[in-house]
Structure formats: structure tokens, C-alpha cells
Structure 1
Amino acid sequence: MLIFVPFGLYVSMLKSNWSFLRKVAPIASVSLVYEVLQFLFAIGASDITDIIGNTLGGIIGIVIYFVFHRVFKTDLKINKILNRIALVGTMCISILLIFLIIVNS
């Protein structure tokens, strides 16, 4: 679920004029693609709860953007702060995935 929080932030920053459902659609679609690929390549376990959890993570990212947008009124300031937060989250997740790949090899 945490992996998709930065995704929700990125979608919200890039497409701030989109409706909530239009922002959730690519997050849910990417999660579905990941689960289908897991099933096709027999990597891990595919489960609908993963799709729901990943989509919920993206929704949390969208909500974080919405809250920051209400607190700070300027879009430039919001995007700078959230871009850094999302970048740190993406880097941490990438390091974790690399670590998991090395350990499981």
C-alpha cells in the first residue's frame, strides 16, 4: 500500500484539474496490471486485496495532496514540498525492492 502513496501524489501534482475518480483510475489500472503480471509469471501471489490495498495507497496520496493544497494556498509551494516527499518515498521503496531482490536471489 505504501508503494502507491507517491503514485497518488504524482498523479495529483501532474493532473490537479482531474476529478477524484479520474485520478484513481490510473492507480487502480497499474495495480491491476501488476497483479495480472504476477499471475502470468507465477511471481508471488495475486489477490484482489492487493489491488484494493494499492488503490487505497494511491487514494491516500491524493488525499495528502488535497490536504496540503488546502493548507498552503500556492500551487508552487505545494508541488515543491510534495515532490520532495514523493521523491524520498520513491527512493526508499526502490532501495527496499533492490534489497528484497538481492536477498531472495
Structure 2
Amino acid sequence: MTRAEPIGASTSTTSTTRTALSLLFAIYLFLLVWLVLWKLQVPSVGGVERVVKLVPFVSTASAGASAMWEVTGNLLAFIPFGLYLGLLAPRMPWWKATAVVAATSAMLEAAQFALAIGRSDLTDVIMNASGGLVGFALAVLLRRALGTTTGRAMTVVCAIGTAVALVAVATFAAAPITRAPRGSMPMSSSMSASMPVSAGGPASAEDRGHDVVRVPVGAGVGPSGGDPDAVSEEVRLAALPVV
């Protein structure tokens, strides 16, 4: 069986392939950072309470359980990371590639905490590293199946995927949708009237996993405007998912 030639071999073809893959990898990393930190919105700093969730998957006193779509999204978003590592560094051991992805994910989680722009969750690191491992394994299988043509073939595939991703991101960014700033959610009077309201005080077990917003009574909460002698009440809002 002919051994697959590493992409980094010193030929003009493989050198061009490596350069193209490196450029596509850089574009992917840019989009990944934008997605994880700012959810493809205009970059901002602050506005979200700093929360660190060290218990994966299940709910805790400070955060709710990880949603299935969120877990799956974290896995899928990091598969290209492992794939690019497998293509650009074919001799890298699988455990080292997984460690690189996990370290990158941990740095992104730390950045969310430092910038106060999202919840730092161990679940994300685990699923991101798992996605990277899946991508790296896919690169190994492709090299065995395609041999020396792996680099050129995957350059075309990755270029198409990058073009599709750029078009999708541009469409999302250009969409005429009014997005609320991080940490805020505008409420109309009709929304306020339909939301469950509880008396002020410590959050109960039912309140955990929700954003709690203190609203001065008399500010239009409820049809009658509320009791003018009360200081505040709490309106529980469904927590927005954070990748």
C-alpha cells in the first residue's frame, strides 16, 4: 500500500495546497472566535453577569442544564478545527490534537469570563474537544482512503465549505433584525402583563436557570400598574442560551 504523502512535503503542489489550507484555517478560526464570543453580532464588552459552571451538562445553583441543541452545536462547530489539524499536521498524535482544541476552547471560555460577554461552561470545553477529535479522526480516515490526493481534494472541499459559511454569515449579519444589547431584553406592556411575577427576595429553586430582572412597581407591570407602596417585584425571563 502506498503511504500517504504528508501535505508539508517539499513540492510545489503540496506547498500550494498547504498555503491554501492554512488560509482557509485562518478564516475558520476568525469565524469561530466571532461565533463563540459574540454569536456573530457586533463585538461588545460587558453587559452579562460573570458565571463559571464547572459541573458539566447538569443544572447548578448558578446555571441551568445544557440544552441538547447547544451541546450538539458545540460539537459540530469544532469538527473543522480537528480536520484542519489533521490535514496540516498529519504526524501529530491524536491526543495532542485534542489537547490543542481543548486549550483553545478553554481560552475562549476564559475570554467570555474576562470580557463579561457569556457564561463560562465546562460542558463547552468537553464538547468542543470532542468535536476536534472527531474532525481529526475524519482527516486520518480521508488520508487512508485518498492517499496522496487528500490535500488537493480537501482543499477544494474546505474552500467550498468556507464560501458557504461566509455567505451564511454575511446574510445573517445583513438581515434587518433588531438585536437587543447583551444583558438586556426590551419588554412591551403586553409582554409584561403576560409574564409570571413573584415577590422580591432570594431566587427560589423554580427561579434558577432564569434571568431575574427587578422592575419598580408602577412602571407598567401588570394591567393595574401594581402596588405603589412596594419597592420592587421580580419578573422571571427564560434564560437566553449561551454557547
Classify 1:42/1:58 alpha carbon distance in 2 versus 1 (closer, same or farther; 3 Å): same
Give me the TM-score of the superposition, normalised by structure 2: 0.37
Whose RCO is larger (CA < 8 A, sep 6+)?
1
Q: Tell me, yes or no, if the aligned pair for 1:35 and 1:47 is still in contact at 8 Å.
A: yes
Give yes or no for the alignment of 1:26 onto 2:100: yes
Residues 67-101 of structure 1 deviation map (CA, whole Å, 9 limit, x = unaligned) = 11121122xx112222333344445555556636x
Q: Distance in 2 between matches of 1:38 and 1:91?
A: 28
Give yes or no for the alignment of 1:86 onto 2:158: yes
What SS class does the counterpart of residue 120 from structure 2 fall into? coil
1:58, CA displacement in angstroms?
0.8
Q: Distance in 2 between matches of 1:94 and 1:31?
A: 22
Q: Partner residue of 1:58?
A: 132
The one-letter code matched in structure 1 to 2:116 is: A
Q: Tell me, yes or no, if the aligned pair for 1:3 and 1:90 is still in contact at 8 Å.
A: no
Residues 22-73 of structure 1 deviation map (CA, whole Å, 9 limit, x = unaligned) = 2112111110000111111121221001001111111111011011112112
Classify 1:60/1:37 alpha carbon distance in 2 versus 1 (closer, same or farther; 3 Å): same
Q: Partner residue of 1:69?
A: 143
The one-letter code matched in structure 1 to 2:158 is: A
Q: Which of 108, 111, 130 is matched with 1:37 structurally?
A: 111
Q: Partner residue of 2:82?
A: 8
Measured on the aligned residues, the alpha-carbon RMSD in Å equals 2.4
What SS class does the counterpart of residue 118 from structure 2 fall into? coil
The one-letter code matched in structure 2 to 1:35 is: E
* Gap regions ≥5 residues in structure 2: 1-74, 181-243
Q: Tell me, yes or no, if the aligned pair for 2:98 and 2:130 is still in contact at 8 Å.
A: no
The one-letter code matched in structure 2 to 1:68 is: L
The one-letter code matched in structure 2 to 1:11 is: L
Q: Distance in 2 between matches of 1:65 and 1:42?
A: 36
Q: Distance in 2 between matches of 1:97 and 1:19?
A: 33
Identity of aligned residues (%): 30
Q: Partner residue of 2:57?
A: none
